[in-house]
């Protein structure tokens, strides 16, 4: 049976913990040049197809780097929305079948439509990894985010996480909320302008779990609550429909060094990147801003993901 990665909910708590352990092992091995060279003997001759219908820097490059460090060959189709047969009207199911027919071992897909990677997986002869689908999900980002939290706090049970910014179209926060709900005594604090609040499908799914939810519309209101992680996101302007943000909304959802002064002492600031003005440049230098470490963790985690897809996490 093919091991697709299409949604966060397909993984149990134990699955997530296994991925975190394996990513930690890869992270340690990557620090040593001799170990890195040995890793390239892991999957020699295996082929990864990188099919991105939307722009990407971190996800695309970290998957390609992960494949390289595991000894794989990579074929890339960048800007597939414009430079693939999708322009001619080809159905995603046909795209998946055709590409997998070239003896591909895994296909990594970022798609502009929610559910696009799942459609590609329907006819694919190779496992498909969802690298982000419209305003839907981003399960591999979720895994590296969970790894980053676990690495910092040594646990996820009892964690209190603020999810802030564009929660309506921000697929990273949707996936992360689902994953966090699988752990014990977790509290999620949603803070977003009314027009960008978390969609009802996620809220309803979370109600079936033990996770505690608090909702605010203004960042200032959050500082009355204790929290461990502040996960900030940019406004997904490319997905906005009829939503209109006021200048005041945009101003009040910008993290500055003054905000960090009000963070709990051990709290950290995360962001899936890219930052588009919602965090000021000065914040980069604060040790509590760990989004570059978070981004770095994408490499070992995606190595663990490719390994799981190809032969299972050891």
187-230 confidence digits (pLDDT tens): 999 999 888 999 999 999 999 999 999 999 999 999 989 999 99
Query: In the annotation, is 59 catalytic?
Result: yes
Does residue 209 have an active-site annotation?
no
Please count the helices (runs of H) and the strands (runs of E) in the chain.
13, 9
Residue 65: which CATH number?
Answer: 3.40.50.1370
Section 34-44 average pLDDT = 96
Residue 296 CB contacts under 8 Å (≥ 6 apart), including other chains:
none
Same domain? For 224 and 97 the reply is: no
Q: pLDDT band for 245, please (50, 70, 90 cuts).
A: low
Sorted by sequence, the CB contacts under 8 Å of residue 95 that are 6+ apart come out as 51, 84, 85, 86, 120
**Residue (of 163, 159, 201) closest to 182 by Cα position:** 159
Q: Tokens 């914040």, residue? A: 283
Is 171 in the active site? no
Whether the predicted pLDDT of 67 surpasses 60: yes
Q: Is residue 196 part of a domain?
A: yes
| SS3 call for 270 | strand
Q: What is the pLDDT of residues 260-273, one digit of tens each?
A: 999 999 999 999 99
Q: pLDDT tens-digit profile of 68-108?
A: 999 999 998 766 555 455 554 678 788 889 999 999 999 99
> Is 144 in the same domain as 258?
yes
Q: 3 lies in a domain?
A: no
Average model confidence (pLDDT) across the chain: 91
- What was the pLDDT predicted at 79? 61
Inside any domain, residue 61: yes
Q: Give me the catalytic one of 58, 68, 94, 112.
A: 58
Is 293 a residue whose pLDDT tops 50? Answer: yes
**How much is the pLDDT for 92?**
79
Q: With bands split at pLDDT 50, 70 and 90, how would you rate the model's confidence at 314?
A: very low
- For the cut 90, the answer to whether the pLDDT of residue 134 exceeds it is no
Residues 110 and 75 in one domain: yes
Whether 1 maps to a domain, the answer reads no
Is the same domain home to 231 and 257? yes
- Output the pLDDT for position 150: 98
* Residue of 22, 46, 111, 138 with catalytic role: 138
- Smallest Cα–Cα separation from 62: which of 229, 282, 262, 292? 292
Question: Who wins on pLDDT, 86 or 51?
Answer: 51
The whole-model pTM stands at 0.93
Domain range enclosing 186: 139-295
**CB distance 2 to 124 below 8 Å:** yes
For residues 133 and 157, membership in a common domain is answered with no
Asked if residue 109 and residue 53 are part of one domain, the reply reads yes
Give me the pLDDT at residue 149, please. Answer: 98
Q: How confident is the model at residue 247 (pLDDT cuts 50, 70, 90)?
A: low
Could you say which of 46, 59, 95, 234 is catalytic? 59
Q: Is residue 283 part of a domain?
A: yes
Is the same domain home to 125 and 198? no
Q: Is the pLDDT of residue 259 over 80?
A: yes
Q: Tell me, yes or no, whether 145 and 280 share the same domain.
A: yes
Residues 305 and 280 in one domain: no
Same domain, 34 and 52: yes
**Domain shared by 12 and 77, yes or no:** yes
Number of residues that this document lists for the chain: 314
Whole-number pLDDT of residue 54 = 84
> Does residue 193 fall inside a structural domain?
yes
Catalytic residue among 27, 46, 69, 110: 110
Q: Which of the following is catalytic: 14, 33, 41, 88?
A: 88
Q: Nearest 10 degrees: CA dihedral of 233, 158, 227, 251?
A: 20
121 and 251 in a single domain? The answer is: no
| Domain total in the chain | 2
């Amino acid at each position: 049976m093919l091991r697709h990665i299409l949604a966060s909910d397909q993984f149990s708590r134990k699955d997530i913990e296994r991925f975190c352990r394996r990513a930690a092992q890869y992270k340690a091995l990557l620090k040593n040049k001799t170990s890195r060279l040995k890793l390239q003997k892991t999957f020699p001759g295996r082929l990864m197809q990188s099919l991105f219908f939307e722009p990407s820097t971190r996800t695309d490059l970290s998957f390609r780097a992960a494949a390289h460090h595991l000894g794989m060959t990579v074929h890339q189709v960048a800007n597939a929305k414009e430079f693939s047969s999708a322009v001619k009207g080809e159905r995603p199911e046909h795209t998946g079948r055709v590409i997998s027919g070239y003896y591909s071992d895994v296909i990594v897909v970022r798609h502009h439509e929610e559910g696009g990677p799942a459609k590609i997986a329907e006819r694919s002869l190779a496992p498909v990894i969802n690298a982000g689908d419209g305003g839907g999900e981003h399960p591999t980002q979720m895994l590296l985010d969970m790894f980053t939290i676990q690495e910092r706090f040594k646990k996820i049970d009892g964690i209190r996480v603020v999810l802030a910014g564009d929660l309506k179209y921000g697929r990273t926060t949707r996936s992360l909320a689902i994953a966090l709900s699988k752990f014990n005594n977790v509290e999620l604090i949603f803070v977003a302008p009314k027009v960008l609040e978390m969609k009802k499908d996620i809220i309803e799914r979370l109600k079936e779990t033990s996770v505690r939810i608090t909702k605010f519309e203004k960042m200032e209101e959050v500082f009355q609550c204790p929290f461990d992680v502040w996960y900030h996101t940019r406004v997904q302007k490319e997905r906005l429909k009829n939503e209109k943000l006021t200048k005041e909304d945009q101003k009040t959802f910008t993290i500055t060094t003054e905000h960090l002064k009000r963070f709990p002492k051990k709290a950290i600031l995360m962001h899936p990147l890219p930052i588009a003005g919602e965090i000021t440049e000065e914040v980069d230098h604060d040790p509590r801003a760990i989004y570059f470490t978070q981004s770095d963790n994408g490499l070992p985690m995606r190595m663990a993901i490719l390994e799981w897809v190809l032969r299972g996490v050891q």
